[in-house]
Structure 1
Amino acid sequence: MKMNVPLSAPDIGPLERQAVMQVLSGSVLSIGPQLEAFERLVAGYVGVKYAVAVNSGTSGLHLVIRSLGIGEGDEVLTTPFSFVASANCMLFERAKPVFVDIDPLTLNIDVSKIEEKITPKTKAILPVHVFGYPADMREILDLAKKYKLYVIEDACEALGSRYHNKMAGSLGDIGVFAFYPNKQITTGEGGMVVTDRSELADLCRSMRNQGREEGNGWLEHCRLGYNYRMDELSASLGVVQMQRIDEILNKRQAAAEKYSTRLKEFAQVELPYVGPEIKMSWFVYVIRVPDRDRVLQYLRARGVGCQTYFQPIHLQPFYTKMFGCQKGNFPVTEKVASSTLALPFASNLTDEQIDYVVETLAEALN
């Protein structure tokens, strides 16, 4: 019998609904106590001194680029296998993303190929912890120290992931998380900048709020800024989600293990890799299969929500037009991207749903 299994679903319960209704019953809907509480919870969980809540991960990445003074003519090394925002954030400031191909096992930036891309224009390395799998930060940090570069962690998909027992987002100069509804926790829309550097936190806090500075008047603007604020409703949702984060991550871990147990018998399926000294927080569950597009169509026709993850950034239409990128520039990324398939994944995925997805996938492969 056909079953409809969505690609993702947020884990929202009565505590979250109650928190939002409490905010609605008051008079403070922006820049209030829920925002500050959410920031404290995330900073404490990640193990950093400062957290600055914003209205999206993309906004957070943009503020990070500006706070580091990266601008026109500068270059930032990053991966072409990611959501497009991790490269677009440089373009907002007329800086240039310089792509480095990926490791075929971890799907993160290939650290062995970074050094050859460093030039006098290089100002930072922006690794993306793809699908929640932390990039090889030791090697990246060593290179950054050698060449005096900033390290920006795009940890938008990695809240709760650990690298050598340190939290993703806490390893570089500054990091960013995102809380879109398919992420580990959600605020509807939202993001968070995290850092141990007070001057960067202060700049991001000012720029998210139209360039205002704390203690100054509401109509006094000290620098160019934006309205990248997170509202109190979203923050209240985030507070409860952070209070439940261990429960949520444990459920995601259990769902991933159930998939892996069932799918390891499938010779045609390449499972997600998890190496030593890595703790995944499981943003999505992405496999690799032959004849991916045919399999995708078969699954969707039978109600299984699934998606390709990711299309290479360098082959996005405006990147090919702007930079002259073309097929063959990053062969590992392109090969991986042609075979990836994200299966339905969420905290509350049931055994019945997993069974249906696996059985339907078996039909598609055969």
Structure 2
Amino acid sequence: MKQYQIPLSKPDLTSSDLDEITACFKSSWISSKSVWVDKFEKAFAKSISHTKYAVAVNSGTSALFLALKSLGIGPGDEVIIPAYTMIATINAITWIGATPILVDCTSKENWNINPEQIINKVTKKTKAIIPVHIYGFPCNMDAILNIAKKHKLYVVEDAAEAMGSIYNNQYVGSFGDLSCFSLYSNKIITTGNGGIITTNNNKLYLLLRKLRFFDYGIESHFTHRIIGFNLVLSGLQASLGYSQTKRFSELINKRRLINNWYHKYLKYSHIRFLQPLPKTNPSYWFPAIILKSSLHIKKVQLSLEKNKIETRVFFRPIHKQPVYQKMFMGQMFPYAEYFWKHGLLLPSFYSLKEEDVKHIAAIINASLK
């Protein structure tokens, strides 16, 4: 693995985090039965998703899988998702045997799913919509929720990149029947690996707790009434997450500040930033820039690479993924392809300094002259 002076991301791990992990370790309650799992779930629901309940699992992908499973979605059902998303979104659908239906981005000014095209993709087989808040930019949830209500569809938010994002004075992750977050090490708070499902529905909450760990019986431990899975988060992981929830405001505010620094120092005409929807405040998981061509991207990446600064191109659209190309043969999603060919993610993490961003921006600006 390459070593960068400025990586794309790195977790912020403090002595307080270590103290919490150590307390869990010393208690010997390090498994998924640990009290730290419960503490973390309650803290996450209260301070991040602003929901009644949260269920911690071993990854964001598992969160999506269990969310769909809990809703009874399976073979013969269709689930609408954006063509422009990370592959985990569609993998969860194929795992449960349902059929993914792709919808393009809204425009060259909005990489999130197009609500108007969602309407055209709804059939008698459609059971759910998964809006993905790409790079922490909230989707048009009013439009999506209206479509879901009209057609009696479930909404499962993929908020993997959107911790702390706000839409119309409401936190992302609190709109859907269920919402799913990732806790991977590059997220704003982390458990190393992990995911979490949030909801305001008590029935779904209780079912998810059974599904994530074999439906162990309360009265008789080895009596199982439904098919459950082993997709749990350990106590040690949860203790780290619990510690990090305590400073979430500080962590999210720094991401937004870093994004402002990039806006301040990147001035070249070949670069543009997308503007969020009105009445939204994105998490700015990663600062994402749009360049005029793939040639410009290569120039920027090469210049930054020479200076040991890591970047990453945008997601490859689902219909262009080798594993799914046959499934979507002949389907066109021009805006998804546009972002794939024109976008670049820049470093962002808590310890990144303004002078670092100024240095990165100077290299980018010079490479595009």
Interval containing the TM-score (normalised by the shorter chain): over 0.9
Question: How does the TM-score come out when normalised to structure 1?
Answer: 0.95
How far did residue 37 of structure 1 move?
Answer: 0.6
Residue identity matched to 1:66: K
Structure 1 residues 40-55: aligned runs within 5 Å: 40-45=42-47, 46-55=49-58
Equivalent position to 2:342, from 326, 339, 343: 339
Structure 1 residues 261-300: aligned runs within 5 Å: 261-263=264-266, 265-289=267-291, 290=293, 291=295, 292-300=297-305
For the 8 Å contact 1:284–1:345, the answer to whether it is kept is: yes
Match of 1:10 in 2: 11
Return the alpha-carbon distance in structure 2 between the equivalents of residues 64 and 341 of structure 1. 31
Return the alpha-carbon distance in structure 2 between the equivalents of residues 200 and 133 of structure 1. 27
Return the alpha-carbon distance in structure 2 between the equivalents of residues 349 and 154 of structure 1. 27
Return the alpha-carbon distance in structure 2 between the equivalents of residues 163 and 67 of structure 1. 26
Return the alpha-carbon distance in structure 2 between the equivalents of residues 6 and 113 of structure 1. 37
SS at match of 2:227: coil
Return the alpha-carbon distance in structure 2 between the equivalents of residues 140 and 227 of structure 1. 32
Match of 2:149 in 1: 145
How far did residue 325 of structure 1 move?
Answer: 2.9
Match of 2:306 in 1: 301
For the 8 Å contact 2:5–2:309, the answer to whether it is kept is: yes
For the 8 Å contact 1:272–1:285, the answer to whether it is kept is: no
How far did residue 300 of structure 1 move?
Answer: 1.6
Residue identity matched to 2:350: S
Match of 2:207 in 1: 203
Match of 2:25 in 1: 24
Structure 1 residues 210-249: aligned runs within 5 Å: 210-213=214-217, 215-249=218-252
Match of 1:313 in 2: 318
SS at match of 2:105: coil
Return the alpha-carbon distance in structure 1 between the equivalents of residues 356 and 117 of structure 2. 40
For the 8 Å contact 2:265–2:362, the answer to whether it is kept is: no
Unaligned runs of 5+ in 2: none
Matched, 1:118 2:119: no
How far did residue 177 of structure 1 move?
Answer: 0.8
Indicate how the Cα distance of structure 1 residues 273 and 40 shifts in structure 2: closer, same or farther if over 3 A, else same. same
For the 8 Å contact 2:299–2:368, the answer to whether it is kept is: no
How far did residue 275 of structure 1 move?
Answer: 2.9
Match of 1:258 in 2: 261
How far did residue 216 of structure 1 move?
Answer: 3.5
Return the alpha-carbon distance in structure 2 between the equivalents of residues 177 and 324 of structure 1. 27
Return the alpha-carbon distance in structure 2 between the equivalents of residues 235 and 106 of structure 1. 35
Match of 1:38 in 2: 40
Unaligned runs of 5+ in 1: none
For the 8 Å contact 2:314–2:339, the answer to whether it is kept is: no
Residue identity matched to 1:41: A
Residue identity matched to 2:100: P
Deviations 1:97-126 (Å, cap 9, x if unpaired)?
100000222210011211011111111111
SS at match of 2:56: strand
Match of 2:357 in 1: 354
For the 8 Å contact 1:9–1:181, the answer to whether it is kept is: yes
Moved over 6 A (4+): none
Indicate how the Cα distance of structure 1 residues 324 and 170 shifts in structure 2: closer, same or farther if over 3 A, else same. closer
SS at match of 2:23: helix
SS at match of 1:252: helix
For the 8 Å contact 1:184–1:282, the answer to whether it is kept is: no
Return the alpha-carbon distance in structure 1 between the equivalents of residues 316 and 219 of structure 2. 45
Question: How does the TM-score come out when normalised to structure 2?
Answer: 0.95
Equivalent position to 1:186, from 190, 206, 230: 190
Match of 2:97 in 1: 94
SS at match of 1:300: helix
Deviations 1:322-343 (Å, cap 9, x if unpaired)?
x0435x6101100111011001
How far did residue 309 of structure 1 move?
Answer: 1.6
Equivalent position to 1:170, from 153, 168, 174: 174
RMSD: 1.3
How far did residue 318 of structure 1 move?
Answer: 1.0
How far did residue 313 of structure 1 move?
Answer: 1.3
How far did residue 212 of structure 1 move?
Answer: 2.2
Return the alpha-carbon distance in structure 1 between the equivalents of residues 328 and 182 of structure 2. 30
Indicate how the Cα distance of structure 1 residues 79 and 223 shifts in structure 2: closer, same or farther if over 3 A, else same. same
How far did residue 304 of structure 1 move?
Answer: 1.3
Return the alpha-carbon distance in structure 2 between the equivalents of residues 20 and 100 of structure 1. 42
SS at match of 2:196: strand
Over the matched positions of the two proteins, sequence identity in percent amounts to: 36
How far did residue 47 of structure 1 move?
Answer: 2.1
SS at match of 1:153: strand
Aligned residue-pair number: 360
How far did residue 261 of structure 1 move?
Answer: 1.1
Indicate how the Cα distance of structure 1 residues 272 and 184 shifts in structure 2: closer, same or farther if over 3 A, else same. farther
